[in-house]
Amino acid sequence: MNIIKAFILSFIPVCLYAQQVELKVADNFVKLAAEQTQSELKPGWIIFDIKMKDKVTHYLDGGHSSQLTDDNMPEFHIIPAENEVLADYAVIRLLNKKYYRKLPKSNLLENDYKRVEPASFFIKSDGDNGFVCHPLEALTKGEYILLNLKQKPIGDLEDLKVYTFQVP
């Protein structure tokens, strides 16, 4: 019986500090569903027996995000996981195509992003482990993702766990 009790109690911290991201829509916070990017490996060229670097492109299915914000200054409620820091989160604008969305550059850190930190976001604590924040400058119209820059990639092609939203 003690073994079962210890096993159940070992999962309580995981449940209490699970990562959660919500977006404010019509004065209510709506939970954003995490999506996984789909990655494609584009092989590099070989010139005079020198192989150029392969390129990985991260795609998201669908032409638009299912979650639309109210205005161009979206408000987020972020509850980081136990080993995460709020400053590791960032907002990146996506390139839109007819049937898919993609990151502008193949390397995640080469993209133009805004970190969720006091220099670019208004941040206040919600009293628990979460934070309510919104950007200080208005975002331009388009598709965006909110993601943790320090997350471990998923699979061989380094897929990412992201939260998508659209600014009207």
Check residue 90 and give its pLDDT: 95
106 dihedral zone (left: phi>0; alpha: psi -120 to 50; beta): alpha
Check residue 64 and give its pLDDT: 85
CB 39 within 8 A of CB 58: yes
What CA dihedral angle connects 73, 74, 75 and 79, to 10 degrees? -130
pTM, two decimal places: 0.81
CB 23 within 8 A of CB 29: yes
Check residue 134 and give its pLDDT: 94
Q: Which two tokens stand for residue 23?
A: 């977006």
Q: Which are the contacts of 51, defined by CB distance < 8 A and separation ≥ 6?
A: 44, 45
Check residue 52 and give its pLDDT: 83
Q: Burial letters for 74-85: b for 16+ Cβ neighbours within 10 Å, e otherwise?
A: bbbbbbbeeebe
C-alpha–C-alpha distance, residues 19 and 114, integer Å: 20
Check residue 66 and give its pLDDT: 84
Low-confidence residues of the chain, pLDDT below 70? 1-18
Check residue 15 and give its pLDDT: 39
Check residue 145 and give its pLDDT: 95
Check residue 157 and give its pLDDT: 83
Half-sphere exposure in the Cβ direction for 163 (13 Å, CA): 21
